[in-house]
Structure 1
Amino acid sequence: MSYVIKRGWAFYWGTSEWSAQDIIEACEIADRLGLVRPAFDQPQYHILERSSVELEYEILYKKYGYGLTTWSPLAFGILTGKYSKGIPEGSRLSMSSYMNYVADGFEVKVAKADKLTAIAKEIGCTLAQLAIACNRPQKVIKTPDRLGDYLVALRNDFILQHSVCRRGLNLSSQLNAYESETRVLLKLAATGRVVNILLRFGRVVESYMEVMELEKTAEVTQWREQLSSERQERVLRFQQIISDEQRLLEAMGDDTQQMELLTLLKHDMTMYHSILAPEELDVMSDVYDEVVRHSEFVLVGKPPSWFLSPHDLLCENGSYYLDAVRVSKCTTGEVLQTGSGDPTSWEEEEEACLRQATVWADLNHPHVAKMLGACHIGKEPFVVHEPAEPLVSNRASAQSWEPLLGWALGLQYLHERELGYKNFDDSRLLARHHVTASGVLSGLGLVPVKRQTSASLRRGVSNTFSMVALAAEDGNDDENQHELHTPTWSVPSDIFAFGLAIYNTRQWVSIASISSSDNKAPVDLSVSLNPEDDPAEEHEAYKPPDNIDDFIVPKMNVKVVKAMPHLQQKYKETPGTNGTMLQHVIGRLAGLRAQLQSRENIKEATTVMEGFVGVLDMLYDQLRRRDLGKEQSSSSVVASFCASRAAAQKVAIFHHEIDRLLTLADLRDVSASAPTHVALADIHEGSSESIDIACDTQDAILDTRDIHDWQLKWSKARREQLRSFQTCLKDTEELKRQLSDPKTRLEAQMLLQFELHKRRSSYPNSVLKAMSLALSVLDTVGGSSEVVPSWFIPPYEVVLGKHIAQGGFGDVYYGKWFDTEVVVKILKSQASATSSSKGGSPPTSCSGSNEEDAMELFRREADHWFMLNHQNVVHLYGACHVGTPFFVCEPAKSTSLNSHVKELACARPGYNYEEKGGDPADIMRCLVLAGIGLKYLHERGIVHCDLKGNNFMVGTDGKTIKLGDFGMSVLKRSGKGRHTAHAIAGAVPWKAPEYLKGDDPTVMSDVYGFGMCILELISGTFPWAGLPEAAVKFHVTKRKALPPRSKKLNDLQWNLIQHMCCYEPSERISLDAVVDMLHTFRFE
């Protein structure tokens, strides 16, 4: 057995029903010969057979820490009472092979069981429940390290006595990963996580008893002392392992396990330092040092911010859960697979996961699956992302065209970031929802277009392992940025692979049916391979106008003949070079319109004409759109030049659409002045007065290739922009004069940094060098410029749409970012917010300082919000903290929970909302999801401080509840302006007493506010409805009162609200308990 264990084929070996003396002899022989001694025995143990476990083995527990794997707690069924009247036919004991185990003294055991039945009836349980309960409290029945034994027993007893709570207090699922871990030192590395779970669970049990108005038993009041005792015993056990060098070496494992152990130890000590006892920290540090001494591995820095412990991910019934929310998991080993099939080392797999996770974590787009974390250690490194699966695995959506736009937008975003796929196949195409099949791209397998020389893991004599350096983004050293490798991918190859992947997913069902070996009727390919065809002949055929001028432009609601003059007039309002670019678009559209006057000799005439109308629609949108950059009316010349890049790219899109129509119609561009064409990439810094031509003009002919001649004019106009920009940047004295205002200078520095490092492929090297020079000059004026935050979005990349709402601190709009629907939240300056609010205090001399404090708080808020990845929290795509601050977040249905519950009830056939109110099942489901989102924030140290019913939004799927609007409350918590903000913040009925009195909000303030939200949703009315805010403040802060109880609240619900909304924050129950009870009461 020792040989088997040392080879890694087993972890332990044990005995089965040996006597204590035999076990002692075996352990002594093993110690004398340097072998692995037995670790446990498997005895029969129940209320009728206790001597070995409780008496004989006591010396083994003390001397060797011997373990037990007891069996037959019901004595082969005797303790169920079914044998009291004899042995039923077909039972186990009717077979001689089983009867041999109990033949000795069978009748005596049955007689004892009959006597115990009477005792069980007396205390109100079954004989089997009594037998199990008698086993549980025994001190000798314990887990190997005993941690959590007492609370598990306490939980089981509580559920036994109060079956109404059987769906809650689920401790086992949280401890499953820990309990199933067989490597003893990895269990030590999970100490902080498990202790945190147990401490929180103990408080939840106490909260249940308070809300249910149960008297706390002695067992309940002792749980803290018992847990402390378990922790102390556990420390002693690990100290024994450390003192036994051979045992310690065996427990360390191989190189992979040692690196995993070091990482998890460091992670646990960092994450849970505040709750670990000094002796626990000491023993963990000692193990860490011993592993380093034997392995010579050294971890430099702490694990990356995205790091997950393998125990953080729960697996239930084949599904994965993180923070109580379902997620998707993918392994990163495939990025190392090669055609040769050569095995990869653990170092290569670890490095691959680190690099993949670092690239993926920095991506932030609605159509790129959001990475939630990763684990780069262990035998199978993995990444966790939002729930999304390959579309080909979802037959219901495999033929849907819904995801196509999402995939295309996601791929466009990746190309903007100079990223592409090493191998683009169907597995990169994911669907977010089964119902809507929202298309998202996987972040696995991405590689940069341009990258610095990639340094592999440097493992020298000391095997120093720097996770910080390896996981860091590429530096901002402009000189090093030009030392590039040959690109490992190209945009055309990505697009080609994307097309093939689309073809594979679109035709999957059809091809599968065609190739089926079943004897079915042959498939008509003309139908199978054209999913857009409508075979329904009975529908009335669409009859388009014969003349292009008679088509209606939908968004303008006029015919083409009237739309064209209007657009020609509208573009003239666009100043500068961008207006010149749009003039060329109008000219090309006029030329195309002239050719479409007659349908003769035009291929696909109807399709082309409809496409032409679509381009007019797009142009009309462009001319009337409200770019956020324009809305902010920045006076900075730098901001204007930076915005011109995005504007020029938008103009190019129109030209490409016109190209597509000309190609489809087999027409040439009559607006072209010369038969030449040029590629977009051919704007070189080496040519100051002319543009390089991509092909010899003498070889060009007047055919459909001439449609690309627009690029000559576009490139010339863009070059003029860049030349002016470069001149402006080189005139450093004038630049410093124009940017003398600190706020404007900060905006210019941030935009230049963004364009230089995030959009550098759009500029020639000469302009990039001018940007770097300008930044250096500006740094000497106002200090070094900050690094561009990963969440930064420049205002000119955001387009405002319909206004949604307005508040004292900002405005909310629908908008678009990268052609994707978003919500934009624009914050007003503190002075504007104060002056526009009712009852606000007048501005003070500190208003400038307050605004600086507010902007610093805004940045911290963006840092925190951007790191949040939870389906019950509104997702932040990005923000801008210079100029006029704004947030860009996912679209969600801006409605109150009450309105959502009403909508669900009215949609249910036969349900009378006016009579019954909201459906209790809908109400409790919404509250559980809302509580999970709030709990997620609190676990990350974030206080919302502005909870009310309409701050919980509904996701685009119509089901998911999302907590939002904490971004808009930034200014309410800004330093010296806090008390003023209290007066104007509103939502007083939901505010905790300490917050109304001017104290800083805490997580317990949120618990109070959430209690008011529960009252609001169940009762259907606002807390303190009908009372003015001054009266509410008086009742809450002076009289320490709660709103009147609604008749719709049952006793449990009202008790829950009372304990959530105690006047003293220290007396309120935890949010863990609230969420658990909401889940429990949901089924009652």
Structure 2
Amino acid sequence: MTTTMSKTMKSFWMDSKIPEDSRWHSKHEGDFRTTDRLADHFVGKLRDECRDEVSEVAIMVRFTRLLKEALDSYESQTNQLLKLADTGRVVTLLHGSINSALDTIDIHDPDVREDWHSHLLIEREDRLQVFKDFIKDDEQVMAALGNKNQQLEIVTLLRYCVEKYHDGLTPFAGKDEKYRDKLTSGELDTIAMVYDVVAQKAGIVSGKLPEWFVTSDHEWAWVSKAKLEDSKLGWEDIAREKDADEKVSDEVRGEVCEEVCVRLASIWTELNHPHLRKFYGASYVGKPFVIHESCFTPTYEKNVWRYLANCALGLQYVHDRGLVYHDVFPATLLSTYSERRGVLDGLGLVPRSRVDRSRAIGNSNVYGNQADDQETAVSFDVLRFGMAVFFLLLGARNSNLPGATRDKTFDSWKHKTSTRLPEVKPGFISDEEWDILQDLCAESPVDRAKLEDLVFKMELLAKDEAQDDANQTQQEMPDISSYVIPSYGSTVRELLDELLEEHEEDFTPMDQSVFNRLEDVYNQLENAGELPEILVEDFSLLVCAFFQKVEAFTSDSSDASIQIASQSVAGQNYHFHHQLDHLVQTFPQLQGMDTVHRWQPTWDKAQQDQRDVFLEYLKNPSTFLRKTSRPEDIAMLRFEAQTRAGAYAPDVAEAMNMVLKEAEERVKDKKTIPERPAIFKDKEWDLVQRMCRWDPQKRIGIGAVIKILEDIGVSNLIETGGKIGPTKIDAKTRSKS
């Protein structure tokens, strides 16, 4: 039969890639009935709409091609049990696609729209007979069940289908207020019947599914689906060895891959940082895979050091969470497509305590009989990160050059077997870059610079010329002494004086070090006369942030509170020092030669002293709890125990959990939380109450907590007009709060 086609359809339809008996082939008109029935009417409608050369035809042709791609995994599935398990995803996709298609071709008549959906609902019921007939044939069922791994995949996906889609996702405001994409009673009954038969014949059931479990990447944009069997470089050595063992059965290999997936997903799902690749979900059954942010290796990006500095920040975050990498490869250093920011891949992460207990916090060997230059998992990460940076630059600037201009010395170099930089700086590396690489890859671990210091150097190296031009055109200000901080109503001098008068006796050694540097920089700025506006504003905001930090911990903080805070990122003063370093090195008006700016030795000693006191407090939970009465102290301790446990020795992590357990028992006895402190806003205190409910079933989940915290943050910005720093309140009110 000859069919008419628009010129656009002839040019861009998919006939060359599909057989003529496919329902997608342009030779068919109207409905082309398939055995499965699902979407036969919709596909026919799309074909017919594309035959006319109307304004939307190009869009509709592309829309149809994308829909076919989204349905390919379903249509090509030959295992009827797995096909049934994909029901929820497919019907959700189809009902949403029908709405999109109708909107595109400008059909808004409710009756016409309902007719398209009704045909799909009829097809959904008709197709169920296929599965009812199939499940009655024992021979077909046993063949479809396959081995143990496939049986687990089938029961898991059937359960997932019901759990995710039985309530529907998109409400339809029609006559019956029904959910179009909700699994119908017939679909639920059929899936339940099939599940029971499979469970009985296979002798296996599905356990509770983790929140991160997914079956498809169609829910997100800018994501990639990566099979774990293609990412074995990120596996633990023992898992790789077992997978490579020829004597091991396919079933055992499947179990190994499943275990790798579960471990990876359980770690990655807890991480959230702008410079760590986003994780969206994973499946540990069948062919395990992860869904993560779409990224590329920034080898040929113009400002590659900006991406590398971003990646170093990601590595800092990973280490602070008590994690390390099995190895850091050039492919671990990535950039996002959507936002062009450097990120570290999440593949290959493992708790530090599993691979390196020698330097875990609280271990008796830290300053005992262990050699100072002994390699640790963290120091090895820094080394491998440096080597990955070197090989990334090598690939971009040397390896792709023609033979006449390429440095052939490195033709045989491989990242996996290289642990040292070349003896002499290569010509394709600048002096500044070489200094950073040498700091990262020093042969002795004790000589390697801290990531915190190197990030600052990398950011300076990556500084954009446009930013330099912007700095040169900044307006000048008369002097800093007359500058009033808009969000606070005070001068910088007044704020520093208030810190000195009211809080100096509460300063920790770390606080004192920061204050001394702020004081020195202020004196330099005061004597400099006219200053760039951006310098004055940046320094003022830094003073504000430090003031706010000190006030938060001196109003009602016990010694125990300070020790708890000192263990977390929020309580450390590292970022204040590095922002001051940045100011001193960026602006010629400032000098950093005074000894007050040699802050690292003081910081290192203070950090160790605070850590020792913290560990001493943990030895007696009752004493520990008597020394602190703030609810946020327990929350911070719980954060350490739950999210950074890998950074501590096992006995220290156990001690923290003992303190938390006793604190929980005390709350259970009281079945209440302390009275609301005046410093809490309504939304903040409401969140605390919902988080601290005695009944775990009524306690708010972590996902909701994150959303509320984001809303609170936005509200605070609106209230302060987008300014950073505390709002103006008098000292008496602050002290009372």
Q: Quickly say closer, same or farther: Cα 1:621–1:556, change in 2 above 3 A.
A: farther
Q: Which residue of 1 aligns with 2:341?
A: 438
The 5 Å alignment of 1:228-307 reads: 228-274=121-167, 275-301=182-208, 303-307=209-213
1:642 is the counterpart of 2:564? yes
How far residue 299 of structure 1 moved from its aligned partner, in angstroms, is: 1.5
The 5 Å alignment of 1:322-471 reads: 322-323=218-219, 325-333=221-229, 334=232, 335=235, 336-338=239-241, 341-342=244-245, 345-379=253-287, 381-392=288-299, 395-397=300-302, 400-433=304-337, 437-451=340-354
Preserved contact between residue 423 and residue 445 of structure 1 (Cα < 8 Å)? yes
1:176 is the counterpart of 2:84? no
Residue identity opposite 1:325 in structure 2? A
- Find the aligned partners of 2:653 and 2:81 in 1 and give their Cα distance: 52
Secondary structure of 2:305's counterpart equals coil
How far residue 495 of structure 1 moved from its aligned partner, in angstroms, is: 0.7
Q: Quickly say closer, same or farther: Cα 1:783–1:388, change in 2 above 3 A.
A: same
How far residue 325 of structure 1 moved from its aligned partner, in angstroms, is: 1.3
Secondary structure of 1:291's counterpart equals helix
Could you list the runs of 5+ residues in structure 1 that have no partner in the other structure? 1-44, 48-67, 74-127, 314-321, 454-486, 543-553, 592-613, 662-667, 672-703, 787-825, 833-847, 867-875, 896-949, 951-1084
Q: Quickly say closer, same or farther: Cα 1:325–1:859, change in 2 above 3 A.
A: farther
Residue identity opposite 2:39 in structure 1? G
Q: Quickly say closer, same or farther: Cα 1:654–1:858, change in 2 above 3 A.
A: farther
Secondary structure of 1:345's counterpart equals helix
Q: Which residue of 2 aligns with 1:779?
A: 664
Residue identity opposite 1:783 in structure 2? K
Q: Which residue of 1 aligns with 2:176?
A: none
1:625 is the counterpart of 2:540? no
- Find the aligned partners of 1:710 and 1:227 in 2 and give their Cα distance: 67
- Find the aligned partners of 2:425 and 2:651 in 1 and give their Cα distance: 55
- In the comparison of the two structures, how many residue pairs are matched? 558
Could you list the runs of 5+ residues in structure 2 that have no partner in the other structure? 4-17, 168-181, 247-251, 357-373, 410-423, 434-459, 469-478, 484-491, 521-534, 585-592, 672-678, 723-737
The 5 Å alignment of 1:683-832 reads: 711-712=604-605, 715-716=608-609, 719=612, 730=623, 739=629, 745=631, 747-759=632-644, 772=657, 774-783=659-668, 828-829=681-682
1:503 is the counterpart of 2:390? yes
- Find the aligned partners of 1:850 and 1:643 in 2 and give their Cα distance: 21
How far residue 387 of structure 1 moved from its aligned partner, in angstroms, is: 2.0
The 5 Å alignment of 1:671-686 reads: none
Q: Quickly say closer, same or farther: Cα 1:767–1:442, change in 2 above 3 A.
A: closer
Secondary structure of 1:307's counterpart equals coil
Preserved contact between residue 578 and residue 644 of structure 1 (Cα < 8 Å)? no
CA displacement, residues 473-519 of structure 1 (integer Å, 9 cap, x when unaligned): xxxxxxxxxxxxxx9961111111111111111232232156x3257
Secondary structure of 1:276's counterpart equals coil
How far residue 589 of structure 1 moved from its aligned partner, in angstroms, is: 12
Preserved contact between residue 353 and residue 650 of structure 2 (Cα < 8 Å)? no
1:308 is the counterpart of 2:214? yes
How far residue 441 of structure 1 moved from its aligned partner, in angstroms, is: 0.7
1:493 is the counterpart of 2:380? yes
Secondary structure of 1:420's counterpart equals strand
How far residue 195 of structure 1 moved from its aligned partner, in angstroms, is: 2.4
Preserved contact between residue 334 and residue 345 of structure 2 (Cα < 8 Å)? yes
Preserved contact between residue 429 and residue 440 of structure 1 (Cα < 8 Å)? yes
What is the aligned-residue RMSD (CA, Å)?
5.7
- Find the aligned partners of 1:409 and 1:285 in 2 and give their Cα distance: 48
- Find the aligned partners of 1:573 and 1:567 in 2 and give their Cα distance: 10
Q: Quickly say closer, same or farther: Cα 1:415–1:375, change in 2 above 3 A.
A: same
Preserved contact between residue 371 and residue 385 of structure 1 (Cα < 8 Å)? yes
- Find the aligned partners of 2:114 and 2:328 in 1 and give their Cα distance: 59
Secondary structure of 1:157's counterpart equals helix
How far residue 782 of structure 1 moved from its aligned partner, in angstroms, is: 2.7
Q: Larger Cα Rg: Structure 1 or Structure 2?
A: 1
- Find the aligned partners of 1:716 and 1:160 in 2 and give their Cα distance: 77
TM-score, normalisation: structure 1: 0.43
Q: Quickly say closer, same or farther: Cα 1:622–1:295, change in 2 above 3 A.
A: farther
Preserved contact between residue 641 and residue 725 of structure 1 (Cα < 8 Å)? no
Q: Which residue of 2 aligns with 1:1072?
A: none
Preserved contact between residue 314 and residue 343 of structure 2 (Cα < 8 Å)? yes
Preserved contact between residue 655 and residue 710 of structure 1 (Cα < 8 Å)? no
Preserved contact between residue 618 and residue 624 of structure 2 (Cα < 8 Å)? no
How far residue 378 of structure 1 moved from its aligned partner, in angstroms, is: 2.0
Q: Quickly say closer, same or farther: Cα 1:855–1:498, change in 2 above 3 A.
A: same
How far residue 233 of structure 1 moved from its aligned partner, in angstroms, is: 3.0
Secondary structure of 1:164's counterpart equals coil
Secondary structure of 2:123's counterpart equals helix
- Find the aligned partners of 2:680 and 2:50 in 1 and give their Cα distance: 50
1:863 is the counterpart of 2:716? no
Calculate percent identity across the aligned residue pairs. 26
Q: Which has the higher helix share?
A: 2
Higher relative contact order (CA 8 A, sep 6+): 2
Residue identity opposite 2:556 in structure 1? S
Q: Quickly say closer, same or farther: Cα 1:589–1:717, change in 2 above 3 A.
A: farther
Preserved contact between residue 330 and residue 388 of structure 2 (Cα < 8 Å)? yes
Preserved contact between residue 431 and residue 439 of structure 1 (Cα < 8 Å)? yes
Q: Quickly say closer, same or farther: Cα 1:228–1:569, change in 2 above 3 A.
A: closer
How far residue 342 of structure 1 moved from its aligned partner, in angstroms, is: 2.7
Residue identity opposite 2:703 in structure 1? D
Preserved contact between residue 862 and residue 879 of structure 1 (Cα < 8 Å)? no
Q: Quickly say closer, same or farther: Cα 1:182–1:619, change in 2 above 3 A.
A: same
- Find the aligned partners of 2:658 and 2:222 in 1 and give their Cα distance: 49
Q: Quickly say closer, same or farther: Cα 1:633–1:571, change in 2 above 3 A.
A: closer
Q: Which residue of 1 aligns with 2:450?
A: none
Secondary structure of 1:297's counterpart equals coil
- Find the aligned partners of 2:619 and 2:503 in 1 and give their Cα distance: 22
How far residue 728 of structure 1 moved from its aligned partner, in angstroms, is: 9.6
Preserved contact between residue 238 and residue 283 of structure 1 (Cα < 8 Å)? yes
Residue identity opposite 1:408 in structure 2? A
Q: Quickly say closer, same or farther: Cα 1:527–1:254, change in 2 above 3 A.
A: same
- Find the aligned partners of 2:56 and 2:399 in 1 and give their Cα distance: 49
Secondary structure of 2:193's counterpart equals helix
The 5 Å alignment of 1:202-221 reads: 202-203=98-99, 212=107
- Find the aligned partners of 1:364 and 1:72 in 2 and give their Cα distance: 44
Q: Quickly say closer, same or farther: Cα 1:291–1:499, change in 2 above 3 A.
A: same
- Find the aligned partners of 2:100 and 2:69 in 1 and give their Cα distance: 16
Preserved contact between residue 276 and residue 343 of structure 2 (Cα < 8 Å)? yes
Secondary structure of 2:34's counterpart equals coil
The 5 Å alignment of 1:5-24 reads: none
- Find the aligned partners of 2:595 and 2:670 in 1 and give their Cα distance: 49
How far residue 448 of structure 1 moved from its aligned partner, in angstroms, is: 0.6
Secondary structure of 2:573's counterpart equals helix
- Find the aligned partners of 1:144 and 1:860 in 2 and give their Cα distance: 46
How far residue 714 of structure 1 moved from its aligned partner, in angstroms, is: 5.7
Residue identity opposite 2:285 in structure 1? I
Q: Which residue of 2 aligns with 1:165?
A: 56
Preserved contact between residue 563 and residue 610 of structure 2 (Cα < 8 Å)? no
Secondary structure of 2:262's counterpart equals helix
